[in-house]
Amino acid sequence: MSALILLCPMMLLVSCTSTKEVLIPVQPPPIPAQLTADCPQPDIPEKVDWGDMPQLLVDAMNSIAKCNLDKKAIREIEMKRVNNGI
pLDDT of residue 72: 92
Structure confidence at residue 16 (pLDDT): 55
What percent of the chain clears pLDDT 90, i.e. is strictly above it? 10
Determine contact, residues 28/86, Cβ cutoff 8 Å. Answer: yes
Residues with Cβ within 8 Å of residue 28, at least 6 apart in sequence? 81, 86
Cβ atoms within 10 Å of 60's Cβ, excluding its own:
13
- Name the 3-class secondary structure at 37: coil
